Structure 1
Amino acid sequence: MGTHPIEELLPRKTDQILQLALDAYSSSIDEVVNFGTHIILWDYKKKRDGKDNHIPTLFLRNIIEIGDSISILIKSSSIDPSKILIRSLLENFFQLLYMLEKDEKERAQCFMIYKAVNDLKYYKKFISSDPSSKGLFSKLEKDQSDFDITNLLDRDDFIKAIESKSSILKKPEFKDVYEEYLRTKKIGNGRNPNWYSLYDGPKNIEQLSTHLRRVYYYEFFYRSFSQNVHISDLFKGLALVGIDKAQMIQIRDFEDCHTVFIATNKILLALFIEYVQKRIPERNQEFRFWFNSFYPEYDKLVQKGQIKYKK
C-alpha cells in the first residue's frame, strides 16, 4: 500500500559507513557458513549404518541454517532479533557437542526416543479417541469458542505419524534407551526429561554447559542474551535524555553488532573443530587449511572493536 515508516523510529536506509561494517561482519559469517556446508556434505557421504548415525549431521545442518539467518539479520542491522537466534544456536551447539563427546550412537538414540515421545504426545491430541484430545478441546473452548477443531481431528497424516513414532519405541534396538527414558521420567515426577538427561546426564542447558566446560559461552552469550528472549530487556528501547525524560531508540539499532558477530563465528568455529575431529578426522587437513586462511581476516575484524558511529 506504500506506507512509509517513521524514519526516526525505523530508518530503512543505513548510513554508508555503518553498512560497510555490517556487510563485513555478515560476509565473515557467510564464509564460515559456506564452509560448514562442505562439512555437512563430507559427513553425509561417509558410509555409516543406521538412521541414528545421521542425527549429528541433522544437528549440524540446523546450526548452519541458524548461522546463515543471523548473517542475514546482521546485514540488515537487526541485531536484537539475532540475539534470540544465538540462544537457539547455543542450545544446538551444547547438545551436539554432548552427543559427540562419547557414546555417540547411544546418545543419538536418546534423542530419537525423546523426539518420538514428544511427537506422539502432540499428534495424539488430534485423535478423537485419545483422552488428551479432550483437554485440548476444553482449552480451545475457553480461549476461542468459535474455533472449529473438528477439521484437524483424525487426519490420515496424523495417524500415519503416530504409527511411525510408535514403531520406533517398539524396535528392539531402542528397548534399553526407551526403558531409560521411562526411568528418568519417573525420577522426575512424571515430567518429560531432556534427551541429554538420560543415564543421569545434565538436567538443563546450564548444567550441560558446565559438563562440557563451555561455561564461557553460557554466561557471556546464552545468559546475557536471555533478556531478549524473555522480554526482560524491554526498556532497552528507551534512552534517558534528561531527568525523568526518555526517547524511543530506533528499531534496527546496530548496538552490539560486533558482539553478535563474534559470538556467532566463535560458536560455529568451535563446533567445526570438534565436529571434524570426532566425525570426519580424515578431513582434518582440509579443514585446517581453510581455517588458517580464514582466521587472519576474521581476527582483524575482531580486533577493530565496536563500531564508532554516532546515531
Structure 2
Amino acid sequence: MLNRTILNPEYDALLNEISRVFEQCVDFGGTVLDTIQKHPINEYTDSTVFLLLRDYLEYLDGISILIKSGNTEAAIPIIRSMFEHFLSIRYILDRHSADRAASYHVAHIKSRIKLHKQYSKEEIGKFKKTLEESNYSFPLPEIDATERIQNLDSLLNGKYKRINDEWDKTRKRNKKEKSGGKTPNWYSLFSGPKTLYELAAHLKQLPEYELLYRTWSAKTHANSAIHSVFSTGYTKPLRTPESLKTVSTWALTWSFTLFEEILNKYRKRKKQTYAWFYVYLRKTYLRVTSGEDLINIIQEK
C-alpha cells in the first residue's frame, strides 16, 4: 500500500527538481514580502496582502515537501486553499485596495468577537452541554472576554466605522435578497461578489474554479474516495503521482502571477529581479506545464 522508497532514479530526480523550484519560489516570495514592508502603500493593503501572501508561501512550502516524497494527492486540500488566497490577493490588488483590505480586517474582527462570545459566561453552558453529549469530560473554564469584546467593538465603531456600516448594509441586503448568506463575505462589501464563484468570475479565473476547485472540494470534503477505485479499477497505493502535473502547474502559475502583480503594485523597479527569477526557473516550469505527461506510470493490477 505504501512504498516509501522511490526506486526509479528518473522519477526521483524529477520530484527533486520540481521540489527545488517550489523552494526557490518560497524564497523569492520572501523578497516580495520584504518589498511590501520597504515600500508601503497604506496600512490596510500592506498588512492584508503581506499576511495573505505569508500564508500562501507556507502552503507552497508544504507542497514542496509533499512533492519531494511523491505524495501529491495530499497536496490537493492545500492547493485548494491556495486558490482562495490567490483570488483574495488579486481582488485586493485589482482596485479600491484600501477599502477591500479594510473589509478583510472587519471580517476578522467580527469573527474574533463571535469566538469570544462563545466562551462567555452566557454561552459557555451550551458548549459544555455539547461536550458532555459527545462524551468529552475535560474542564472548560469560563473566560470573561468583556474587555476584549469592547476593544474590538470600539475598533468597529471607530477606526473601521465606515467599513462596518457597509458590512451592516451588505448583510441587510443579503437578508432581503436571500442571497450570499446571512453573514457577508469580506469581498462582498461595496457591491462586490457575493460568493467565491462570483469572485472567481470577477477575476476571470472561472475555468480554474469549475475544472479544478470543484473537484478539489469533493476530495477535501471526503466526497471522492470511491473515485480512486472507479477511475482505475483497483485501489491505488499511497503516494501515487497522478496529480503531480496539475498541482505543480497551478501552484507555480499562481505564484508567478502573484509575485508579478504585487511587485507591479509596490515596486515596479523590482520587476527586473522578477524577470531574472522567472528565467532561472523557466526551463522546469515549461516542462511542468507542457502538454506532455511528466511521467508514465505502469501499475500492477
Same topology, TM > 0.5: yes
Residue 272 (1) aligns with residue 265 (2): no
Contact 1:52 1:112 in 2 (8 A): no
Match of 2:135 among 124, 139, 144: 144
The answer (yes or no) to whether the contact 2:41–2:266 under 8 Å persists in 1 is no
Q: Output the amino acid matched with 2:49.
A: P
AA aligned to 1:71 is: S
Q: Distance in 1 between matches of 2:295 and 2:273?
A: 33
Which of residues 292, 297, 300 in structure 2 aligns to 1:309? 297
Check whether the contact 1:40–1:57 (CA below 8 A) recurs between aligned residues: yes
CA pair 60-160 structure 1, distance change in 2 beyond 3 A: farther
Alpha-carbon spacing, 1:236–1:19, altered in 2? closer, same or farther (3 Å): farther
Letter of the structure 1 residue corresponding to residue 169 of structure 2: R
Q: Which amino acid aligns with 1:185?
A: R
Secondary structure at the residue paired with 2:182? coil
Give the superposition deviation at 1:293. Answer: 3.2
Given residue 248 of structure 1, which amino acid in structure 2 is its aligned partner?
A: T
Contact 1:277 1:284 in 2 (8 A): yes
Alignment of 1:30-49 (within 5 A): 30-49=23-42
Which of 26, 29, 41 is the aligned partner of 2:22? Answer: 29
Name the CA shift for 1:77/1:145 in 2 (closer, same or farther; >3 Å).
closer
1:154 is matched with: 143
Cα distance, 1:49 vs. partner?
A: 4.8
**SS state at 1:238 partner:** helix
Alignment: residue pair count: 292
Amino acid of the structure 1 residue aligned with 2:225: L
TM superposition shift of 1:306? 2.9
CA pair 15-302 structure 1, distance change in 2 beyond 3 A: farther
Aligned-residue RMSD, C-alpha: 2.2
Cα separation, partners in 2 of 1:81 and 1:297, compared to 1, 3 Å: closer
8 A Cα contact 1:81 1:228, kept in partner: no
Deviates more, 1:118-127 or 1:297-306: 297-306
Describe the superposition over 1:155-189 as per-residue Cα deviations: whole angstroms up to 9, x where unpaired. 6xx56643443332132x31111011111122233
Map 1:1-311 onto structure 2 (within 5 A): 9-16=1-8, 17-50=10-43, 53-128=46-121, 130=122, 132-144=123-135, 146-149=137-140, 151=141, 153-154=142-143, 161-171=148-158, 173-189=159-175, 191-238=182-229, 247-303=234-290, 305-311=293-299
Q: Distance in 2 between matches of 1:261 and 1:288?
A: 20
Q: 1 CA distance for matches of 2:64 and 2:231?
A: 30
Decide whether the 8 Å contact of 1:84 with 1:229 is kept in 2.
yes
> CA-to-partner distance for each residue in 1:89-110, whole Å, 9 max, x for gaps?
0001101111111111111110
2:35–2:267 contact (8 Å) kept in structure 1: yes
TM-score (norm 1): 0.86
Q: 1:20 to 1:278 in 2, by over 3 A?
A: same
Q: Secondary structure at the match of 2:264?
A: helix
Q: Cα offset for 1:48? A: 4.5
Work out the CA distance in 1 between the residues paired with 2:289 and 2:95. 33
TM-score by length of 2: 0.88
**Partner-residue secondary structure (3-state), 1:81:** helix
Distance 1:305 1:86 in 2: 20
User: Aligned equivalents of 2:41 and 2:256: distance in 1?
Assistant: 25
Unaligned runs of 5+ in 1: 1-8
Q: What letter corresponds to residue 305 of structure 1 in structure 2?
A: D
C-alpha distance in structure 2 between counterparts of 1:72 and 1:194, whole Å: 32
